[in-house]
Amino acid sequence: MTKKNRVGIMGGTFDPIHYGHLVTAEAARINFNLDEVIFTPTGNPPHKKDYAVTSAEHRYLMTALAINDNPFFKVSRVEIDRKGYTYTVDTLRYFAREYGNDTALFFISGADAILDILTWKDVREVLSMCTFIAATRPGYPMDKLKQKLQEIKRLYNSEVYPMEVTGMDISSTEIRRRVREGLSIKYLLPESIEKYIKKHGIYR
Ligand code: ATP
Ligand code: MG
């Protein structure tokens, strides 16, 4: 049975959100015929402890600003409002409940993050609850991505769909570094986010 609605979930720390995230979400929306994409900033990420992650509220607001001009994009507070560590399985359970049986869920991820996600809690349930889309990212071209997907297939006997995305060699790490060093971040992320970062003195 084909489901009536198709909803994409784009997870990330979004510290800060940038054009790499936005281009990937838009490509997934178009290629997989999604009705909407929900950006879901992580709360307290268990897998990122090597630097002090910016407050969830700042990351949420920057995400909300960045998606504002796309009628198909939404942002959810589900992970940032949850106390303690957040796992993809809990987020998927939440959206499955919210949207009900008539909706097919898609989880959008970059090539670098896909194996991470699948080594998280309750992999089998995670894979059964949604369709995974893995996007190419500079450093992870299609052939390298396909190798990774074969590994997933071997480990979990499950299909993840690869997706070619216009290469945007942008990372939040690089943006944070550039702000710290007083370098320009113009054209790497929407202007509204650049202004927000400046106004609140984030990453300095
Ligand atoms: P950081 O450098 O802090 O890890 P990031 O740029 O990797 O930040 P995340 O918030 O970690 O951003 O990523 C959220 C999701 O977006 C992940 O699935 C990641 O693979 C994907 N993603 C991030 N940047 C890109 C990009 N430039 N192209 C394609 N996918 C991306
Ligand atoms: Mg990352």
Q: Residue 37, Cβ neighbours under 10 Å: how many?
A: 25
Print the domain residue range for 31. 5-169
Q: 115 alpha carbon to ligand 1 midpoint, in Å?
A: 13
What's the predicted TM-score (pTM) here? 0.95
Asked if the model's pLDDT at residue 156 lies above 70, the reply is yes
User: 77: phi > 0 → left, psi -120 to 50 → alpha, else beta; which?
Assistant: alpha
Q: What is the DSSP letter of 176?
A: H
Would you say residue 183 lies in a domain? no
CATH number at 108 reads 3.40.50.620
Domain assignment of residue 69, yes or no: yes
pLDDT of residue 1: 62
Number of domains the chain contains: 1
Identify the burial level of 71 via C-beta atoms within 10 angstroms of its C-beta, where 0-12 means exposed, 13-18 middle and 19 or more buried: exposed
Residue 199 Cα, ligand 1 centroid: separation in angstroms? 24
pLDDT in tens, 77-118: 999 998 777 789 999 999 999 999 999 999 999 999 998 888
Q: What is the pLDDT of residues 94-104, one digit of tens each?
A: 999 999 999 99
Asked whether residue 182 is assigned to any structural domain, the reply reads no
Pairing state between β 131-135 and 36-41: unpaired
Q: Which helix (H) or strand (E) holds 6?
A: strand 5-12
Residue 48: per-residue pLDDT: 56
Inside any domain, residue 90: yes
Q: Kind of pairing, strands 131-135 and 160-163?
A: parallel
79 domain-assigned:
yes
Q: What's the chain's average pLDDT?
A: 93
* Residue in 21, 86, 107 to alter for ligand 1 test, most ligand atoms within 8 A of Cβ: 21
- Please determine, for residue 71, whether its predicted confidence score (pLDDT) is greater than 60: yes
Residue 53 lies in a domain: yes
Confirm whether 116 is domain-assigned: yes
Report the residue among 137, 165, 169, 187 best suited for mutation to probe ligand 1: largest number of ligand atoms under 8 A from its CB.
137
DSSP reduced 3-state for 76: coil
Q: Whose CA is nearest to atom 2 of ligand 1?
A: 173
The amino acid at residue 41 is P
Ligand 1 pocket residues where CB is under 6 Å? 12-15, 20-21, 24, 109-110, 112-113, 135, 137, 165, 168, 170-173
Asked if residue 42 belongs to a domain, the reply is yes
